[in-house]
Amino acid sequence: MNPLISGLNDKVFLVTGGASGIGLACAQALAASGAKVVCADLQQTQDLPQGCEFRKLDVCSEAMTNELVSDVLARYGRIDGLVTSAGISRVGDLQSMTLQEWEQVLQVNLTGTMLSTKAVASHMKQRGQGSIVAIASINGMLGNPTNLAYCTAKGAVIQMVRSLASDLGSYGVRVNSISPGYIHTPMTAMLDELPVGKAFEEMHLLKRAGQPAEVGNAVAFLLSDLASFITGVNLPVDGGFSAAKVIAI
Ligand SMILES: NC(=O)c1ccc[n+]([C@@H]2O[C@H](COP(=O)([O-])OP(=O)(O)OC[C@H]3O[C@@H](n4cnc5c(N)ncnc54)[C@H](O)[C@@H]3O)[C@@H](O)[C@H]2O)c1
């Protein structure tokens, strides 16, 4: 049990992208607090902790997402919270990126987040409670010329969360985003051994990359009743990356 985050015991959470990296760490943090977690992902993992179960999902498919939510409701009778962590990144600037890459990145990161939220929202509205956390990025807060589609999608997620919080607040449903900095996961593994990875770490005020669990703990907090008056915010979990411009001397 996680002694810091109480009140999650027996609650039911859906985590998209829950088979890897940050999504898996969110599932671990929630399960450690006694929650039931459905990890929905394109790919399966053998390493799900106790309290977690895997369901196959392509977040780009509205039909598959709606079917999954119906199944979870039929089985558990409730969904207390949603984490949207399914995401992909494609490096490319305006000239080098293809239209297909642009559409794919927007589809998974932005449309997928909207579809998952839409699928759980009517249940949460009926119950008059619920908490949704979208995993955005520091790349949605600051410009980056080499990752155009991803930055655009994540910036849109942050803005969508504010709009969803306005829509759902009067029903008692909270919607927030978290913007991680550089976190060691399979998505960033190619950076870890390169000089650019080290340089990226140095741009964080804490002079290191983060661990997935450091994001998972913040997500568990936002999903819990400890965050009962927090909605419509974007919380950077980025070792200070977005707080200051680091100048190399
Ligand atoms: N790692 C970082 O430094 C970092 C920083 C900021 C934001 N993020 C965001 O955090 C989230 C998780 O990323 P991660 O670093 O854990 O990467 P990851 O690759 O380890 O995990 C992403 C998961 O999403 C799943 N996924 C991809 N497309 C999907 C689809 N169409 N339907 C269902 N599942 C799908 C993948 O199978 C994978 O399991 C992403 O949204 C990412 O953009 C990561």
CATH assignment at residue 220: 3.40.50.720
State the closest ligand 1 atom to the C-alpha of 19, by its place in the atom list counted from 1.
39
Residue 52 covered by a domain:
yes
Residue 31 structural domain: 12-229
Catalytic residue among 76, 150, 171, 182: 150
State residue 246's pLDDT score.
Answer: 87
Indicate which atom in ligand 1 lies nearest the CA of residue 180. Answer: 6
Alpha carbon of 170 to ligand 1 centroid (Å): 30
> Pocket residues for ligand 1 (CB within 6 Å)?
16-17, 19-23, 41-43, 57-60, 85-89, 108, 112, 135, 137, 180, 182-183, 185-188
Residues facing residue 119 across a β-bridge: none
Residue 242 located in a structural domain: no
- Residue with the smallest CA separation from ligand 1 atom 35 is 86
Q: What is the pLDDT of residue 30?
A: 97
4 within a domain of the structure (yes/no): no
Atom index in ligand 1 nearest the CA of residue 58 equals 32
User: Which residue reads 């589609």 in tokens?
Assistant: 149
Domain count, the chain: 1
Per-residue pLDDT of the chain (249 residues; tens, 9 = 90+): 566 677 899 899 999 999 999 999 999 999 999 999 999 999 998 889 999 999 999 999 999 999 999 999 999 999 999 999 999 999 999 999 999 999 999 999 999 999 999 999 999 999 999 999 999 999 999 999 999 999 999 999 999 999 999 999 999 999 999 999 999 999 999 998 899 999 999 999 999 999 999 999 999 999 999 999 999 999 999 999 999 998 877
Rounded alpha-carbon distances, angstroms, from residue 90 to 87, 102, 191, 237: 10, 8, 13, 22
Q: Which ligand 1 atom sits nearest the alpha carbon of residue 136?
A: 7
Give this prediction's pTM. 0.98
Instruction: Determine the pLDDT at residue 3.
Output: 61
Which pLDDT does position 142 carry in this prediction?
Answer: 96
Ligand 1: centre distance to CA 85 (Å): 6
Residue 146 is assigned to a structural domain of this protein:
yes
Which residue's CA is minimally distant from atom 14 of ligand 1? 21
CA of 135 to the centre of ligand 1 (A): 9
Question: What is the C-alpha separation between 241 and 204, in angstroms, rounded?
Answer: 4
Give the distance (Å) from ligand 1 centre to CA of residue 132.
17
171 is catalytic: no
For helices 99-106 and 148-168, the axis angle rounded to 10 degrees is: 30
Nearest CA-CA partner of 225 in 35, 77, 70, 39: 35
In a domain, 112, yes or no: yes
Residue nearest to atom 43 of ligand 1 (CA): 87
- Domain membership flag for residue 235: no
Distance (angstroms) between ligand 1 centre and the Cα of 185 equals 9
Distance of CA 24 to the CA centre of its chain: 10
Q: Ligand 1 pocket test: which of 22, 57, 179 has the largest number of ligand atoms within 8 Å of its C-beta?
A: 22
d(CA 9, CA 30): 9
Do the domain assignments include residue 234? no
User: Does 2 fall in a domain?
Assistant: no
